[in-house]
Every structure is written in C-alpha cells, then in structure tokens.
Amino acid sequence: MKNPFQIGDIKYYKIQVGESDTARFETGLVHPFYATFALGRDAEWAGRLFVLEMKEADEEGIGTYLNIQHLSPAISGDEVMFESKLIKVEKNSVECSFKAKVGERIIAEGSTGQKILKRERLEKLMESLNG
C-alpha cells in the first residue's frame, strides 16, 4: 500500500440520479427519491477513489463501515456532487468523511471506512467462508 495523500485531501465524484437509484424493493416503488442505499453505494465509491490510488496491483479495498445521515431528498435527474475528504490513514485502514450536495443543498453527510488487503488474503477469506 502506498499513500500519496495528506489528511484533508479531497476527491469529488458526480452522479446523476437515475430511476434505478430510487427507493424500490420487491414490492415496487416506495418513493421517487434517491434511496439511502443508493446514496451509500455512491458515498463508498467516493471514498474508494482514494483507495484506487493507494492500493498496489496485488491488493484490493474492502469496506469496513458506512455512516450516513440522509438530510434532504434528491430526485431522478438531479446531479449529486460527492465531496470525500481523507480523515485518517492508519496501517491499512482508510477513513473518509463525505458530503453529498445538489447545488448548494447538502442532502447527506457521513463517513466511510475501507481496508486495503492483499488479494491473496481476500481469497483465503472467501475459501474459509465457503467451507
């Protein structure tokens, strides 16, 4: 693992909310707003942008936590800008805070954690879970 970053560095990730990002379950559409679970996926990706530049070829990132406060809705067609800030790097753990905005309106904030592990270790973990 390499670390070309400083604490406080920022990465940006912009997405346009699509119909598949709305709150839907097996029973159908719940509401036409950006679902918290889709927002979480995108927040984790925003933090992963750091991991992509930190991991070596024989390593991969794996999520360790996701904390979201969903503050305001976004609808299909809205552009959401994620601002992910590197807040901690300790050994192989990478932690980021994030804010998600539609224009100037903050729709969510929170934090994410990932660990960078050797691919071999991940494969052994998979083997142990598969019995």
Q: Which position has the token pair 């997405």?
A: 15
- Residue 86 belongs to a domain: yes
- Residue 3 belongs to a domain: no
pLDDT digits (tens, 9 = 90+) for 90-118: 999 999 999 999 999 999 999 999 999 99
pLDDT at 31: 77
pLDDT at 118: 95
Give the whole-angstrom CA distance, residue 103 versus residue 50. Answer: 24
- Residues (pLDDT < 50) of the chain are none
Range of the domain at 34: 10-129
46 contact partners, CB below 8 Å, separation of at least 6: 11, 12, 13, 82, 83, 84, 96, 98, 112
By three-state DSSP, how is residue 73 classified? Answer: coil
99, 108 contact by CB (below 8 A): yes
pLDDT at 101: 98
- Residue 2 belongs to a domain: no
Give the whole-angstrom CA distance, residue 98 versus residue 75. Answer: 20
pLDDT at 95: 98
